[in-house]
Amino acid sequence: MDYADYLIQQGINAISLGSLYALVAVGLSIVFGILRLTNFAHGDMMMVGAFSTLLSSLAGVPFLWGIGIGVVAGAAGGMIMERVAYRPVRGAPDVTLLLTSLAVTYILENLGILVFGSSPKNFPLPDWLDTSWEFRDGALTFTSINVLTVALTVVSLLFLGWFVTRTTTGLGMRAAAEDMGAAHLVGLNVNRLIVAAFALASAYAGLAGVLWAAQAGVVQPLMGFTPLLKAFVAAIIGGFGSIGGALFGGYLLGTLEVAIVAFLPDEISPYRDPIVFALLIVFLLFRPGGILQPNREEKL
């Protein structure tokens, strides 16, 4: 294989993986931007979305409609989670919010195990998604699911850009992210904005869960844990609370992981995850604001 073709192929892989990380990281940043809450249960909305699509496929629903069902199920799960778990402790100390988030994660994962079992379930794909295209005598390969992943990510992110800049709710969410108290004083319905933020963020997690399961070929209750941690790293790299930073961090992290596997010695590949989390520590120590946001000094 020509080296240029190899680079292009790894670029394709990086874009596909980075798209998944970006979808999850954007959801994390939306909620954090408004509530300053690191929602560790966000990854479980990936499980909700993936299992909803799986059940709809088993019921005979076309796969594209099933993706929509997974997205809606994720959004609904986020709204229920906000109303039941987070609203009662809103305004509590940060440690209370953190412990609540971890408790919700534990409950949802164990509920998923009780309902669906702990063993992975096959995630069937329609025939049109189980195909690939080869170019340059097989040097470049595009799989249908990778193309669908990138396409849906681009469309969903364009929608997000329109939503937060052109709709009343989106502009209200941005105002609440800047100053919650001021948003309340000018008459904005803060509760509605927070519910909208959770719904939107969890919808992106649901979509990411469906696409992640489609690429892996399996779905299981604990499937959201690792992508959530990677998305958290991506959000920190780009700038936690910044949608643009989450996108940048997601694609940068996807590129880094692919590069570790593709260009470093095989002996280093098993240490891909430790390298990623070591990078997180470096950013927290030396650039806590992320690449796209300036470091801020806290004044007592």
Is residue 241 in a domain?
A: no
Question: For 259-277, how does the pLDDT look when each residue is reduced to its tens digit (9 = 90+)?
Answer: 998 888 888 888 888 888 8
Domain range for 131: 3-224
Q: What's the average model confidence in pLDDT over 179-190? A: 85
Mean per-residue pLDDT, 186-194: 89
Task: Encode 161-192: b = buried (16+ Cβ within 10 Å), e = exposed.
Answer: eeebeeeebbebbbbbbeebeebeeeebebee
Which of 31-40, 50-59, 215-224 shows the lowest per-residue confidence on average (mean pLDDT)? 31-40
Report yes or no on 239 lying in a domain: no
- The token pair at 22 is 């970006």
Q: Is 28 within 8 Å of 38 (Cβ atoms)? A: yes
Regarding predicted confidence, which is higher, 63 or 187?
A: 63
Q: Is position 93 within any domain?
A: yes
Instruction: Report the share of the chain in percent with pLDDT over 90.
Output: 59
What is the tally of structural domains in the chain? 1
pLDDT > 70 fraction of the chain, expressed in percent and rounded: 96
- 89 lies in some domain: yes
In a domain, 131, yes or no: yes
Q: Looking at residue 196, what is its pLDDT? A: 94
Q: Please, which pLDDT band fits residue 104 given cuts at 50, 70 and 90?
A: very high
The larger pLDDT score, comparing residue 293 to residue 89, is at 89
Quote the pLDDT of residue 180: 83
Mean pLDDT score, 127-142:
77
Q: How far is CA 5 from CA 143, 153, 252, 262, 266, in A?
A: 16, 24, 20, 13, 20
- Per the domain annotation, does 219 fall within a domain? yes
Q: Are 201 and 30 in contact (CB under 8 A)?
A: yes
Q: Does some domain include residue 85?
A: yes
User: Is residue 296 predicted with pLDDT exceeding 80?
Assistant: no
Name the token pair of 195: 């519910």
